[in-house]
């Protein structure tokens, strides 16, 4: 019998996580109960929002438990089934990543067709990541053709899709910020009209130079100085879709700012936080649009793949540091 390895949360990080916060645990491959399946995971998603669940605070999802496996989106092949409607060999999407073998109720798994798109795409462009970009830009911020869009962490999984979808939906100008010259180069290749490295100077100055006519829509993945800069540069009636604030996930002090928040009054700005699970109403439009763009070859998606479940903690630290281009995945 093969063994199963999984990653447990050994302790709650204070500030930046370290390897000590995680533990690789060897267990037995689980056996399915009635109505259950066992999935051998192929890929798991590593996402910045998981950092919040490592804190023991009330939030929109329960915190991870100590001394138990972490979880998150994953895709894999069914290797044992006690469920009538899911056969061994089916590829399924589910929520129990951070382990080699997952046992779960068949109702909690969604079969996908690995011949339509590579399995990993269901965790990125065709999955929650893609829907987050699509719904945040088009529903939450209600981008209109001709507008100028700014997206932060633009070389990340969500950001790179936001910028491309904006162009495909008729944005007048798309500006992205990222954390290295290589990423900035990649944004230009993806069709961004302007891109800057936020290390090169105050974000506000870089943004103003990149968007001389101001910003109508800001898609926020960073918070902090990026949100403050966006508020400064936004035009009247601008809208910000607040998706993430990675700048402060590891902060031990509450962040100041944005110190110019009073500008929302005179500029009549709207700042709106959102979670993708509220936007299933646009899922069919999303799937249809994205499938079309992928067929045409007008939408690209980058993946940064780390091999081996034992390296999942360092992949997670990497996504917090911004080591990834596009979606950070672990090939289990």
The residues that bridge with 104 in the sheet, in sequence order, are: 37
The residues that bridge with 220 in the sheet, in sequence order, are: 242
Q: Is the dihedral of CA 328, 247, 252, 16 positive or negative?
A: positive
CB of 216 to its own copies, least distance (A): 15
Burial (CB < 10 A; 0-12, 13-18, 19+), residue 68, is exposed
CB of 274 to its own copies, least distance (A): 6
* Residue among 74 and 242 whose Cβ is closer to its own copies: 242
b/e sequence 177-216, b meaning 16+ C-beta within 10 Å: bbbeeebbebbeebebbbbbbbeeeebbebbeebbeebbb
* Residue among 23 and 144 whose Cβ is closer to its own copies: 144
Q: Which residues bind its own copies (CB under 8 A)?
A: 52, 59-60, 223, 227, 242-245, 248, 254-275, 278
* Residue among 71 and 289 whose Cβ is closer to its own copies: 71
What is the number of alpha carbons within 13 Å of residue 156 lying toward its C-beta?
28
CB of 244 to its own copies, least distance (A): 7
CB of 297 to its own copies, least distance (A): 33
* Residue among 40 and 272 whose Cβ is closer to its own copies: 272
CB of 33 to its own copies, least distance (A): 33
- What's phi and psi for 301, nearest 5 deg? -140, 130
CB of 17 to its own copies, least distance (A): 18
* Residue among 99 and 239 whose Cβ is closer to its own copies: 239
- What's phi and psi for 212, nearest 5 deg? -60, -25
* Residue among 151 and 245 whose Cβ is closer to its own copies: 245
Written as one string, the DSSP assignment of 74-126 is EEEEEEEE--TTS-TT-EEEESB-SBSEEEEEGGG-EE--TTTS-GGGGGTTT
* Residue among 25 and 263 whose Cβ is closer to its own copies: 263
CB of 224 to its own copies, least distance (A): 9
**Element housing 45 (H / E):** strand 36-45
Written as one string, the DSSP assignment of 218-277 is EEESS-HHHHHHHHHHEEEEEEEEE---GGGTT-SSPPP--TTTTHHHHTT-EEEE--GG
* Residue among 141 and 154 whose Cβ is closer to its own copies: 141
CB of 251 to its own copies, least distance (A): 10
């Amino acid at each position: 019998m093969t063994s199963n390895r999984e990653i447990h949360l050994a302790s709650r990080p204070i500030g930046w996580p370290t390897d000590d916060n995680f533990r690789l645990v060897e267990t037995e491959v689980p056996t399915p109960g009635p109505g259950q399946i066992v999935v051998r995971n192929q890929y798991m998603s590593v996402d910045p929002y998981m950092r919040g669940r490592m804190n023991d605070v009330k939030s929109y999802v329960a915190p991870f438990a100590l001394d138990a496996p972490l979880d998150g989106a994953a895709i894999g092949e069914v290797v044992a089934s006690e469920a009538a409607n899911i056969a061994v060999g089916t590829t399924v999407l589910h929520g129990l990543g951070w382990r080699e073998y997952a046992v779960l109720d068949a109702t909690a798994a969604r079969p996908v067709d690995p011949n339509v798109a590579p399995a990993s795409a269901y965790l990125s462009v065709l999955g929650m990541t893609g829907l987050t970009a699509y719904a945040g830009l088009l529903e939450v911020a209600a981008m209109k053709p001709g507008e100028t869009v700014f997206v932060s962490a633009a070389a990340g999984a969500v950001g790179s899709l936001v910028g491309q979808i904006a162009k495909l939906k008729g944005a007048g100008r798309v500006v992205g910020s990222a954390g290295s010259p290589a990423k900035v180069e990649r944004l230009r290749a993806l069709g961004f009209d302007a891109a800057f490295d936020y290390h090169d100077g105050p974000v506000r100055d870089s943004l103003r130079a990149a968007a001389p006519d101001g910003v109508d829509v800001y898609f926020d993945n960073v918070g902090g100085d990026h949100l403050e800069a966006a508020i400064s540069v936004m035009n009247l009636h601008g809208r910000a879709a607040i998706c993430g604030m990675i700048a402060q996930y590891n902060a031990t002090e509450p962040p100041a700012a944005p110190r110019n928040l009073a500008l929302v009054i005179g500029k009549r700005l709207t700042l709106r936080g959102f979670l993708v699970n509220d936007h299933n109403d646009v899922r069919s439009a999303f799937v249809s649009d994205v499938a079309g763009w992928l067929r045409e070859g007008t939408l690209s998606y980058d993946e940064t793949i780390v091999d081996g479940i034992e390296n999942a903690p360092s992949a997670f630290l990497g996504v917090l540091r911004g080591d990834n281009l596009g979606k950070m995945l672990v090939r289990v």
